[in-house]
Amino acid sequence: MSTPTPSQRASAWLAQFGKALAANDLKAIPGMFAPECYWRDLVAFTWNVRTQEGREAIQQMLASQLPQVKPSNFALAGDATEADGIVDAWFNFETATARGYGHLRLKGSDQGDQAWTLLTTMTELKGFEEHKGENRPKGAEHGVHPGRKTWLEKRQEEQANLGFTEQPYTVIIGGGQGGIMLAARLRRLGVPTIVIERNERPGDSWRKRYKSLCLHDPVWYDHLPYLPFPDDWPVFAPKDKIGDWLESYVKIMEINYWGSTTAKKASFDEAKGEWSVTVERDGKEIVLRPKQLVFALGVSGYANVPKIPGAETFLGDQHHSSKHPGPEKYKGKKAVVLGSNNSAHDICAALWEQGVDVTMIQRTSTHIAPSESLMELALGGLYSEQAVKNGIDHHKADLIFASVPYKIMHTFHIPVYEEMKKRDADLYGRLEKAGFMLDFGDDGSGLFMKYLRRGSGYYIDVGASELVANGSIKLKSGVTIERINPNSVTLSDGTELPADLIVYATGYGSMNQFIADLVSPEVADRVGKVWGLGSNTTKDPGPWEGELRNMWKPTKQPQLWIHGGNLHQSRHYSQFLSLQLKARYEGLPTPVYGQADVHHVR
Amino acid sequence: MSTPTPSQRASAWLAQFGKALAANDLKAIPGMFAPECYWRDLVAFTWNVRTQEGREAIQQMLASQLPQVKPSNFALAGDATEADGIVDAWFNFETATARGYGHLRLKGSDQGDQAWTLLTTMTELKGFEEHKGENRPKGAEHGVHPGRKTWLEKRQEEQANLGFTEQPYTVIIGGGQGGIMLAARLRRLGVPTIVIERNERPGDSWRKRYKSLCLHDPVWYDHLPYLPFPDDWPVFAPKDKIGDWLESYVKIMEINYWGSTTAKKASFDEAKGEWSVTVERDGKEIVLRPKQLVFALGVSGYANVPKIPGAETFLGDQHHSSKHPGPEKYKGKKAVVLGSNNSAHDICAALWEQGVDVTMIQRTSTHIAPSESLMELALGGLYSEQAVKNGIDHHKADLIFASVPYKIMHTFHIPVYEEMKKRDADLYGRLEKAGFMLDFGDDGSGLFMKYLRRGSGYYIDVGASELVANGSIKLKSGVTIERINPNSVTLSDGTELPADLIVYATGYGSMNQFIADLVSPEVADRVGKVWGLGSNTTKDPGPWEGELRNMWKPTKQPQLWIHGGNLHQSRHYSQFLSLQLKARYEGLPTPVYGQADVHHVR
């Protein structure tokens, strides 16, 4: 007998798995999984975003969900591969209500092949598929239709009526990239939606940031759904170009986007099961009554500005990094930038380039990831021109990324940063010599884990680190600003620095502070802390959650959802949030399994 | 010995061909081509758009071009296939200045495999490739660049300077789809270009047409370069949606687009080798001095309005189809539509749907191609969802289409329309019974050949033919309007029809009438007639040209070019026109071979 191929092994496992599930044979399940095993489910089985860790958790989930979910038709998609003793396979499957796509990592064992990681994702709801490809709309309705309306007339009617004579099913608060991507998906699914944005035009949340800002993630990581960037799109898109793209995207996708609109107050009417959202649009108050309310305010909403004694006496300019106008007017002056993450570095570099005398105040250690190294070592396999040539476009890359359980993700990342330490040893050495406090995360797992755990604490180096290392950007490290004087700041070590400008590059407030302000502190606390994995590392207290808190899944407040993240996450997870909303819009059963408890508030 | 595979046969032919060309062995060439043979070249060998018909023409072209073109590296691209005794193959090649892609049809013979059709196309100029994929721009310039400018600043500077302190290399007159696509390609190639458009916004030339207009060609045929429509784009896009798309496209592609700008006068300064183009932009006169002037005015520029006695006495509304506002205000009234092509049918149907009493005046016979049949029988193999699934996207489809020489194209089309006659016999029978005069082109080759030969004479039926057949749209056939009275029209058969509205769906003037008006009648006549193949069929007088007159290739007026056609042609041929312009911009040798003589003026 010849050795079975990876495809044969994966097919055999899927067949056995499908059979056990169809027969509701829960006893057969544990033996099909390795002793260390993970089943990550994106909506397909759990109507939740949830990782089952270990055999017992898997069995419990199935015991609860199998009767309603009724999975079937597990079938290998494409050829499986094998490397380092792990068989890697993609597969299709169905449930009672949906079609799904999954990923499987198998390990051989004495008991036969066992699953190490399993990913199941929902791709579409049966009977509620997107109208695309061969099911695209016809456009022209051939034949004769007295009184027919044109596309333009229908679109104008919708814009005139939605929110007034007709209520949207979903209101998304926040019209940045996250809100836009979710709205585009809901549009395709036919869920009436309005996006509320305080800025005038889509893209303004990028345009209004500091002048030198470019995306820190490369283009292959940044595509929006349905309309990939053209193939000459810059690797790191300048902020105004991305702003214009978002504006065109909103128009092309026919999103009902209310710019210059501020959400003033929202409350949930339990009896009616709907929200009342008061907004001010172009100075006029309007009350919207959606069934579902999505917060898509991202991380750049609430500026964190520390209260420093004497700030009111300062005679120069002082502002949060989000309000920084750019360096031009400070040529020849003295600037102090409080903070040492991405914005702090970018702003310091732009000020220095314009001939400003600039000092960075580093309060705590920072992770520096040189952009080139990050792209090659951390992202290159999934998001790069080479990856695309290898057949890994961003759709596939997103799924591969999603297939790694958070519990073990850091073990995938630590070696990358070990390599980065070696590769960029020279820069790191000189930074330390300049007094810069470096770290690589509590466990050395680097940038992305920091981002997931705490959403802060790093700079993707696109040049400013060299300026810090060589002293062009002056550095005061291990201190903070203790007091602000009319023409200077006094640091905690007693140093006084003359200053014409203070920039607070001090980050952004907790996402659910918005909920407290807009809805109520009670609802905010019912929802609990947003973001973070419960890793019990700096700024990410335990217990372990296994997934990002409250992101893209049901919260403890009915009909309230949180959407956000970087472009990759907003793209990928908007798929699953939109399917959850669509299912509710259509009245399909959505039995949520294993909703996380709230351990922390705000 | 086993039979050689199609790939082996094609590879062997290409190797032998490449060897003969490299050795300048012209004697070897005729025997490699079938007695009936065609070599269509798009810029790669001839710096022209030209079909060499027959062995002698091929040998003559090579005798002239080989020394400069220096072709090399012919290599099969992908597997060749065989059907009906014809081997079909794709191949790459190079010339001294460029890279190319080609298509080959081989026939077996006693003398071995011989080429029946050969297509050679230029894809890029060496050293002047588009910055895409792995050569895309970086966006953020990492490192430190004192005084650096942002993308936005550079873009704003360009917009402020180009046409004022800096002159564009190319001016494109006409900012419809054709001008936009050419400008997008020139942008990618770094050729400074301004597009002049009399309408305010990109897309207005679609928006301003009659309300019910949708594209008559399906989505797979209509993609613009670089940014394909999303996969939910309607099969037949409504005019306002296409208008919005063009507007977004212009922004995304960073085209220097001067809306609300009219070209008043242009003249060529032979001494300086440049044009002087006087334009009025927002009421202000500006003189542009480009090296190259492109007319991209399409077919919907100059309305053809017949001069009919008494027109000035008419008390109702009368206008050309291009000015028709839509049916609403004519409800319950009587309309007469002069003409029986696409616009006439669409306008009649929309009027009837709104309860207007409408009569179509058919002067001469018309070709009716039911949309469903046209899509399935004529376009389906190349431009459809099924074609995409078969691996034929619009890039490949354009090349397959281009590979069929015009000389024999009608023989590919006649069977399609034979089939259409059978399939739609019922409709055709009822149309004739209603008095409608039908034709299928002089030789039965149908719609696309009519389009290429004369650019008129057909209706793609999306429903109006049924209304004509069943009498809902009244028909007067074989007559014209002889006289217009205050409240009626008198037809050439003496009938008097009461009328509150007259629509002249009488088509558009010759493209080079623009040149006569803007430059001079002398230059217009030097250029000669534009469009048409010289097929010696109705409205396309001989002699045979082999290619469309003056389209996308050098004209007899130096530095004057004509661009246009439907979306497919504008997309495909803008590639070759942009490469011709880029080569001249960079001062590369562009030895034009076989420029056509002018046989007809305007």
- Report the residue from B142, B151, B240 with minimal CB separation from A463: B142
User: Which chain B residues are within 8 Å of A355, Cβ to Cβ?
Assistant: 146
CB A232 within 8 A of CB B189: no
Using CA coordinates, name the residue in chain B closest to A387.
B134
- pLDDT above 70 covers what percent of chain A? 99
Mind listing the pLDDT tens digit for each residue in A232-252?
Answer: 999 999 999 999 999 999 999
Are B238 and A151 a contacting pair at CB < 8 A?
A: yes
- Report the residue from A136, A142, A253 with minimal CB separation from B231: A136
Mutation for testing the A interface, residue in B142, B201, B467 having most A CBs under 10 Å = B142
Q: Does A124 touch chain B if contact means CB atoms closer than 8 Å?
A: no
Cβ atoms within 10 A of the Cβ of A153, count? 14
Q: Which two tokens stand for residue B261?
A: 């700008």
What is the predicted pLDDT for the residue at A300?
A: 55
CA of B29 to nearest chain A CA: how many angstroms apart? Answer: 38
Are A144 and B463 a contacting pair at CB < 8 A?
A: yes
Alpha carbons A14 and A278: distance in angstroms, whole number: 50
What is the predicted pLDDT for the residue at B461?
A: 93
What is the predicted pLDDT for the residue at B282?
A: 87
CB A599 within 8 A of CB A534: yes
Are B140 and A211 a contacting pair at CB < 8 A?
A: no
A487: left (phi over 0), alpha (psi -120 to 50) or beta: alpha
What is the predicted pLDDT for the residue at B301?
A: 61
What is the predicted pLDDT for the residue at A404?
A: 97
Are B140 and A462 a contacting pair at CB < 8 A?
A: yes
Q: Is residue B363 helix, strand or coil?
A: coil
Q: Does A353 touch chain B if contact means CB atoms closer than 8 Å?
A: yes
What is the predicted pLDDT for the residue at A301?
A: 61
Q: Does B271 touch chain A if contact means CB atoms closer than 8 Å?
A: no
Q: Is residue B560 helix, strand or coil?
A: strand
User: Which chain B residues are within 8 Å of A211, Cβ to Cβ?
Assistant: 150
DSSP B602: -
Q: Does B352 touch chain A if contact means CB atoms closer than 8 Å?
A: yes
Q: Does A236 touch chain B if contact means CB atoms closer than 8 Å?
A: yes
CB B439 within 8 A of CB B445: no
CA of A114 to nearest chain B CA: how many angstroms apart? Answer: 36
Mind listing the pLDDT tens digit for each residue in B210-240?
Answer: 888 889 899 999 999 999 999 999 999 999 9
Confidence class for position A488, pLDDT limits 50, 70, 90: very high
User: Which chain B residues are within 8 Å of A219, Cβ to Cβ?
Assistant: 136, 139
Torsion (CA) A347, A350, A355, A357 in degrees, nearest 10: 20
- Report the residue from A133, A211, A245 with minimal CB separation from B385: A133
Alpha carbons A300 and A322: distance in angstroms, whole number: 8
Average pLDDT over residues A438-460: 96
User: Which chain A residues are within 8 Å of B234, Cβ to Cβ?
Assistant: 136-140
Q: Does B190 touch chain A if contact means CB atoms closer than 8 Å?
A: no
> Among A536-550, A554-568, B292-306, which stretch is predicted with the lowest mean pLDDT?
B292-306
CA B352 from centroid of its chain's CA atoms: 32
Are A131 and B232 a contacting pair at CB < 8 A?
A: yes
Instruction: Using the structure block, give the residue that is written with the tokens 């949309």.
Output: B371
Average pLDDT over residues A476-482: 97
Amino acid at B151: W
CB B290 within 8 A of CB B277: yes
**Hey, which residues 11-70 in chain B have their CB within 8 Å of chain A?**
none
User: Which chain A residues are within 8 Å of B385, Cβ to Cβ?
Assistant: 133-134
Predicted TM-score of the model (pTM): 0.94
ipTM confidence score: 0.93
Are A241 and B151 a contacting pair at CB < 8 A?
A: yes
CB B166 within 8 A of CB B159: no
Q: How far is CA B409 from CA A419, B41, B450, B570, in A?
A: 61, 16, 12, 19
What is the predicted pLDDT for the residue at A216?
A: 86
Q: Are strands B86-94 and A501-504 parallel, antiparallel or unpaired?
A: unpaired
**Hey, which residues 81-110 in chain A have their CB within 8 Å of chain B?**
none
Mind listing the pLDDT tens digit for each residue in A166-180?
Answer: 999 999 999 999 999
What is the predicted pLDDT for the residue at A191?
A: 98
**Angle A357-A360-A364 (CA atoms, 0-180°, nearest 5)?**
170
What is the predicted pLDDT for the residue at B142?
A: 63
What is the predicted pLDDT for the residue at A375?
A: 92
Mind listing the pLDDT tens digit for each residue in A298-344?
Answer: 765 678 899 999 999 999 999 999 899 889 899 999 999 999 999 99
DSSP A341: S
**Hey, which residues 356-415 in chain B have their CB within 8 Å of chain A?**
371-372, 385-386
Q: Is the pLDDT of residue A582 over 80?
A: yes
Alpha carbons A19 and A26: distance in angstroms, whole number: 11
Are A238 and B152 a contacting pair at CB < 8 A?
A: yes
**Hey, which residues 277-336 in chain B have their CB within 8 Å of chain A?**
none
Q: Does B587 touch chain A if contact means CB atoms closer than 8 Å?
A: no
Residues 6+ positions from B429 with CB-CB distance below 8 Å:
none
Average pLDDT over residues A513-528: 93
Alpha carbons B124 and B82: distance in angstroms, whole number: 29
Q: Is residue B17 helix, strand or coil?
A: helix
Pick from B451, B366, B437: nearest CA to B409 = B451
- Report the residue from A139, A145, A245 with minimal CB separation from B353: A145
Q: Is the pLDDT of residue A282 over 90?
A: no
Average pLDDT over residues A555-574: 96
Are A139 and B234 a contacting pair at CB < 8 A?
A: yes
What is the predicted pLDDT for the residue at A147?
A: 72
DSSP A133: G
Q: How many A×B Cβ pairs under 8 Å?
A: 169
Torsion (CA) B524, B526, B530, B534 in degrees, nearest 10: 150
Q: Which two tokens stand for residue A584?
A: 């509710």
Alpha carbons B579 and B585: distance in angstroms, whole number: 10
Alpha carbons B302 and A169: distance in angstroms, whole number: 48
Q: How far is CA B180 from CA A198, A247, B168, B205, in A?
A: 33, 20, 16, 12
CB A475 within 8 A of CB A360: yes
Mind listing the pLDDT tens digit for each residue in A414-441?
Answer: 999 999 999 999 999 999 999 999 999 9
**Residue B80: exposure state from Cβ atoms within 10 A (0-12, 13-18, ≥19):** buried
CA B389 from centroid of its chain's CA atoms: 26
CA of A347 to nearest chain B CA: how many angstroms apart? Answer: 12
Cβ atoms within 10 A of the Cβ of A441, count? 24
Q: Does B234 touch chain A if contact means CB atoms closer than 8 Å?
A: yes
Q: How far is CA A257 from CA A251, A281, A290, A457, B279, in A?
A: 9, 11, 15, 33, 37
Handedness of CA B574, B578, B579, B580 (dihedral sign): positive
Mutation for testing the B interface, residue in A216, A252, A254, A331 having most B CBs under 10 Å = A252
Pick from A441, A460, A179: nearest CA to A300 = A179
CB A116 within 8 A of CB A413: no
Spans of chain B below 50 pLDDT: none
